[in-house]
Structures are given as structure tokens and as C-alpha cells.
Amino acid sequence: MAAPKPPSEIARETLKLLAQRRLSPTPEHYQALYHEVAGTSPPPAFPVAPLRAIQRVLPAQTPAQKRLLNQFEHAVTQQHWPGLQSVLVGYANLAITPVSTASDEREAAAQVTLPPRLAEALARLLHNLLPALGEDDTRLLEMAAELQTQLRGPQARAGALEQALADFNHRLSFAAEDQSAIRAGLLTLLRLVFENIAVLCVEDDWLHGQAQGLMAASTPPLSLRRLDDVERRLKDVIHKQANAREHTAQAQAQMRELLAAFIERLARMDESSSTYHNQLEQCAERISQASRPQDIAPLLEEVISATRAMALSTRVAHGELQDLRSRAEARHAEVEQLRQELDRASAQARHDPLTGSLNRKGFDEAMSREVARAQRQGRPLCVALLDIDDFKAINDRLGHATGDQALVHLADVTRQVLRPQDQLARYGGEEFVILLPDTELDEAAQIMRRLQRELTTRYFLTEGERVLITFSAGVTRVQDESDSSDAVRRADQGMYLAKRSGKNRVVTA
């Protein structure tokens, strides 16, 4: 038996045969010629295509199946039989692992008891949810009551609750949609009423101001605190306006009476003048017809008497007219005073009742005026938006009344630090906006930092406790009237950057 050839010699002869037979040097040709020279049989080819077909139909629903499928794909790619064997064994183990049937799972789930704390939390959730949905859907209320009874029972079974919760959730989705649509519709109708009032009362500054204030107050997002502030302000202003309206009506009635008396007196004067005129004409005619001096004397006495009576009547009428004039001027002054009171009441609709600063409507009007002035004079205008740091913690720890006092303290200190031409407005909650006319951006940022330093030296005192109030602020420059809202938005973004940077900071935007 001939000795086997060494691999190096087999390789050389294989290469020669590739050249002699003019075959391309592919792995398949090289492998076939190598075994031909060595006198051995080639191993069977790796069945890639059939294995890929098997791979496409293998399940991959569970994490274990997905993991085995990835291993199968890798073994086929590497043409690695041991890897394929391991994957097949894994699939076989999955096949013989006992699994619960669907009915067994449902039966087991039905016997699960909810933890008491979870069941009570769900019951409280239902209890707190229902007031927001109203009482129109009685069936929904009944279903909620039944669910609360089951949840608060001795053993809250998941199986019994599952279908009940599903039914309740289905009905709740429709009720929530209805309530949301009703709320949006009512808010739209309310705003339409306010807009119509504002259009119809353009000449009444007070009523127009109230309508504008209500429109601003009804703009989403709404909050109870914001509505309470508006309600308190409107009640006070409406009370003042009612008194002023009553006095105005009385003054107008008195003016009408004076005017009627004046017209009546003029008519009487005219009647008296006509009488005296006729009497004098008769006397003049009789004098012209008299032929003797003794006939003229009584006529002259009659003329003198009529003249004296006319003079007396004229003096009386003049006095009465003077009195009417004085009374009319007094009523006019009273009406003017009432009008000024109405103007002051209207101005209150533009101020925040808590801090005395401008509200959002007042700020919008001030912004329009300052932008127009800045454009006419070619001067810069900046706006700053500040938000008190950790204001919620102050409210939670010390109460909302103390939080309101903190807002007043901030507004007072701010007004003392700002220049006379600067304007402070409460923008909402603990946010304030400051208009800074004739101010460049860097100078505006310095003003806000000076205010921050001043607040650190002026502690807010409440019941003997000193509370440090700080704020984060964004400052930007207003370019023109169309940039007003964008400027406030940029300042707001700057304020949030200051918050994220560590609070008690000023960021220019």
C-alpha cells in the first residue's frame, strides 16, 4: 500500500490541475481537485438553502424562542454543525416543557386576590374621579358604586373585577368625552358672550374693560386660584360701579328737572315780556292821542309802574336763572366726579388685586404703548420674565396665605428697585413680567441681578420666620410690535434655562 502524500505536495498538484484544466480558483473547485489528488471522498455540502427555509418558519414569539432563532441563524451563517445541534436541543427542551393551558391561566387569574392597599387605592380613585364627571349618567354612578363595594369587600378577586372594570372603563370613556366636549362648548359660549359685550360697549370704557378682563380670565389654561382672584376683583369693581351708576342716574334725573325748570322760566319770561310790551304800546298810543297835559300824567304813571314791574320781574327771573345755572354746574361736577370714579374702576380691571401690579391685560396695553414709543424715538426696549424659585414649597410648608404675602413682598421690593419708567405686571401665579424702556439687553440683565441682590438683603418675615425669596429670570429685547409675543416667549425660555442652571440666575435670550 502506497504511503499517503503529504498535504503540501497534494496542494501543489491541486494548483497544477487547476491551471491545466483552466478552472477558476474557487473554494469549490479547489476542494474537489484536492480530494481527487489525495484519493479521498469530499465531505457532503452544507445545506444552507434548506436550513434557511427552516429558519423562516421557526417560531419567535417568546424571548426564549427569539434567542434560539438568533443562534440558529448564526450557526447557519458559520456552517457550524455543533451550533445547529445545540439549537435543536434547545427547541426540543422547549417543546417538552409543560405549559399551562389558557383555561388553566384564566382559572388561576380568577382566584388571585388583590392586595388590600391596591384595592383601597382603586376604590379611592373611583370615588375621586366621579365628581369630575357630573351626575348625568346614573348607570355610570351605579357601576362605580358596585366596583367600590367589590374592591372594599373582604377579598377582591381579580377575576370578578376584570370584566366589571372593563365595562366601567368602556362607559367611562364616553362619559369623559361628553364632559370634555360640554366644558369646551360652555367655555366657547362664555367667550362669545364676553366678546359680544366688548364689541357692543366700545364707548363705555368701564364695561369694555370688564369684558376684556373676563376674556383674558377665561383663556385656558384655567386654575381655581386665577378664577378666585378674578372673582374677588370683579365683585369689588361691580359693587363700586353699581353705586356710581346709581348716583349717575340720580344726577341725570336732577339735570332733567333743572332743564325743565329752565325752559318753563324762559316761557314765563317770554309771556311777561309780551304782556309788558303790549301794555307799553297801549300807553304810547294813548299818549300820542292825548291833547291836554293833565291827560298825559296818569299815562306816565302807568308807564312807570309797568316799567318797574318789568324790572322787578326781570331781576327775579335773573336770580332764578342764576340759581338754575349754579345747580346745573353742581350736577355737572357731580357727574364728572362719578365718571372719574368709573374710570378708576375700569383701571382696576387692568391691575392685579393682590399685588397692585398690572395684570396680563394691563401688561398687553403697556407693551403696545412702549413698543410704539420705542419705535417713534428709536430707543431700545427690553422685557424680563421672572418666576419665584420653589414657590410651591413655600405654599406647601407655610400655606397659601403666606404665599400670597410673599408675592406682595416681591412686588413691593421690585417697585422700589425699578426706575420710574419701568412697569411691573403679574403674568400669572408666581410669574412676573417687567418692561424696561430705554434699556439695552446687558443693562436689563444687570437690573434684574440688582433686584436679586436686594431680595437677599430683604428677608420676607412671617410669624417670626425669615424666608429667603429668590427668582430665576429670562431677559430679551423687543424688536417691534409684531415681536411682542415672541419676546415674552423668549424671556420665558430664558427663565427655564436659568431654572435648569441652578436657579437664582438671570439668562439673556
Q: Which of 141, 172, 197 is the last residue of a domain?
A: 197
Whether the Cβ atoms of residue 72 and residue 50 lie closer than 8 Å to each other: no
pLDDT given for residue 229 in this prediction = 55
Q: How many helices (H) and strands (E) does the chain have?
A: 17, 7
**Which of the two residues, 73 and 113, has the higher pLDDT score?**
73
Q: Are residues 364 and 504 in the same domain?
A: yes
Buried b (16+ CB within 10 A) or exposed e, 227-263: eebbeebbeebeebbeebeeebeebeebbeebeebbe
Domain of residue 260, CATH code: 1.20.120
Q: Are residues 452 and 321 in the same domain?
A: no
Q: Are residues 289 and 419 in the same domain?
A: no
Domain total of the chain = 4
Buried b (16+ CB within 10 A) or exposed e, 377-391: eeebbbbbbbbbbeb
DSSP code string of 310-346: HHHHHHHHHHHHHHHHHHHHHHHHHHHHHHHHHHHHH
Q: Are residues 182 and 319 in the same domain?
A: no
List pLDDT tens digits, range 277-314: 666 677 666 666 665 666 666 766 666 666 766 667 77
Q: What is the extent of the structural domain holding 163? A: 113-197
Longest dimension (CA), the chain: 199
Q: Are residues 412 and 343 in the same domain?
A: no
pLDDT given for residue 294 in this prediction = 60
Residue 261 has pLDDT above 60, yes or no: yes
Q: Are residues 78 and 162 in the same domain?
A: no
Whether the Cβ atoms of residue 442 and residue 448 lie closer than 8 Å to each other: no
With respect to residue 177, please indicate whether it lies within any of the assigned structural domains: yes
With respect to residue 139, please indicate whether it lies within any of the assigned structural domains: yes
Q: Which of 159, 175, 197 is the last residue of a domain?
A: 197
Residue 506 has pLDDT above 90, yes or no: yes
Q: Are residues 382 and 459 in the same domain?
A: yes
With respect to residue 136, please indicate whether it lies within any of the assigned structural domains: yes
Residue 500 has pLDDT above 80, yes or no: yes
Q: Are residues 446 and 477 in the same domain?
A: yes
**Which of the two residues, 321 and 171, has the higher pLDDT score?**
171
Q: Are residues 123 and 87 in the same domain?
A: no
Mean pLDDT confidence for 504-509:
92
pLDDT given for residue 201 in this prediction = 55
pLDDT given for residue 99 in this prediction = 47
| Angle formed at CA 386 by CA 383 and CA 390, multiple of 5 degrees | 175
Using alpha carbons, select from 469, 450, 451, 449 the residue that is nearest to residue 459: 469
Domain of residue 467, CATH code: 3.30.70.270
In whole angstroms, give the CA distance from residue 130 to residue 139.
12
Mean pLDDT confidence for 25-39:
77
Q: Are residues 22 and 124 in the same domain?
A: no
**Which of the two residues, 226 and 184, has the higher pLDDT score?**
184
Q: Are residues 285 and 339 in the same domain?
A: yes
In whole angstroms, give the CA distance from residue 33 to residue 341.
114
Using alpha carbons, select from 331, 337, 351 the residue that is nearest to residue 244: 337
Residue 108 has pLDDT above 60, yes or no: no
Q: Are residues 377 and 493 in the same domain?
A: yes
Reported pTM: 0.39
In whole angstroms, give the CA distance from residue 172 to residue 175.
5
Q: In Å, how far are 61, 129, 134, 156, 175 from 141, measured between CA atoms?
A: 41, 11, 9, 20, 11
Residue 187 has pLDDT above 80, yes or no: no
Q: How many CA atoms lie within 13 A of 55 on its CB side?
A: 19
pLDDT given for residue 81 in this prediction = 79
Selection from 147-161, 270-284, 347-361, 417-431 with the highest mean pLDDT = 417-431
Confidence category of residue 333, pLDDT binned at 50, 70, 90:
confident
Least confident range of 132-146, 223-237, 418-432 = 223-237
Mean pLDDT confidence for 225-234:
59
